[in-house]
Structure 1
């Protein structure tokens, strides 16, 4: 990763938050490459409302974890496959990423998606008890140009993880624990500086 700046992905928390669209705009303004709209319990209407409330100039930097039919209404940055939504819609030709929880799954998925997230790399902030699960040897053997580290990512962890072939880092708990917009901006500054 020496020549190219790492990708920084913010993943929304499980539940929709008050003023989330403004927070997402702040995150994208602050240097995140993408925001993944996760919200496993959100309805189609909830997701549509969030996207409508985000300024259109950011839409190409949003990726969906569900409700892929929203791609028919918005020009979004792609989709992210997971256990709830394991397949891309028929005839979809946009950017696709996938969740993986093992090196074996990374090696399988890396052949047919743009990138994968691998977790948990470090002990999760948003899921207590969900602990880092990979050895130095496993992380060193990851395919080049395909893997984004997820799980407990903080600015301090990024410097430790640069020895591995990650193309970037995905954050959830570290960002969404921020209590104010100023704190969110400070956390983003620390993350982007660590890249």
Structure 2
């Protein structure tokens, strides 16, 4: 394990995958802290089914990227704001996180529980989505007062590289073998955890 514990977040792909509920459980059971459910094109009913399929003991570690109406039906871990869903429902008072793609966005999001900042490295899941930050930019992050989560091209191969900056953790999407078997995800989850 590394010197400083980091927050480990898994982000689901754009579209649901086979046995996704079981893969989410494998990640959380192995010690990952959160799973962010994306699926912007899924119906509310499809998202409800995915959440209902996941053991309730893990629900408070699941964060929604959309379909915010479901927050009232489950004891979930929070909502993640982004360009599609820029604000929380008016009566929501739970944990919030936000996607940021510039230094200014980070400074404007200091009331968040944490923010993801991307892309730190060239994206694995999005073709042509290149790193947007150089060493100088990342060094400036040491002045941010909100916990920062590195996202974009993060894999077990570069976790150590991000330790030199002011990151509270990292989020992975493309490096996770979402389209593999549950065993593939479980093995990967433990490997990444061992590096952190």
Q: Give the alignment's TM-score, normalised by structure 2.
A: 0.94
Q: Secondary structure of the equivalent of 1:174?
A: coil
> Equivalents in 2 of 1:4, 1:96: separation in Å?
24
Instruction: Give the conservation status (yes or no) of the 8 Å contact 2:111–2:146.
Output: no
How many angstroms does 1:186 deviate by?
Answer: 2.0
Q: Which residue of 2 aligns with 1:146?
A: 147
Q: Quick check: 1:113 aligned with 2:107? A: no
> Equivalents in 2 of 1:20, 1:166: separation in Å?
28
Q: Counterparts of 1:10-25 in structure 2 under 5 Å?
A: 10-25=10-25
Q: Counterparts of 1:11-90 in structure 2 under 5 Å?
A: 11-90=11-90
Q: Which residue of 1 aligns with 2:171?
A: 170
Q: Secondary structure of the equivalent of 1:127?
A: coil
How many angstroms does 1:84 deviate by?
Answer: 0.7
Greater relative contact order (Cα 8 A, min sep 6): structure 1 or 2?
Answer: 2
| CA deviation profile, 1:31-54 (whole Å, cap 9, x unmatched) | 210000011101110110000000
Count residues in correspondence.
Answer: 193
Unmatched 5+ stretches in structure 1: none
Q: Quick check: 1:190 aligned with 2:171? A: no
How many angstroms does 1:115 deviate by?
Answer: 0.7
Q: Quick check: 1:137 aligned with 2:136? A: yes
Q: Give the alignment's TM-score, normalised by structure 1.
A: 0.94
CA RMSD of aligned residues (A): 1.4
> Equivalents in 2 of 1:58, 1:95: separation in Å?
16
Instruction: Give the conservation status (yes or no) of the 8 Å contact 1:63–1:78.
Output: yes
Instruction: Give the conservation status (yes or no) of the 8 Å contact 1:145–1:166.
Output: no
How many angstroms does 1:180 deviate by?
Answer: 2.1
How many angstroms does 1:145 deviate by?
Answer: 4.9
Unmatched 5+ stretches in structure 2: none
Instruction: Give the conservation status (yes or no) of the 8 Å contact 1:156–1:194.
Output: no
Q: Quick check: 1:6 aligned with 2:6? A: yes
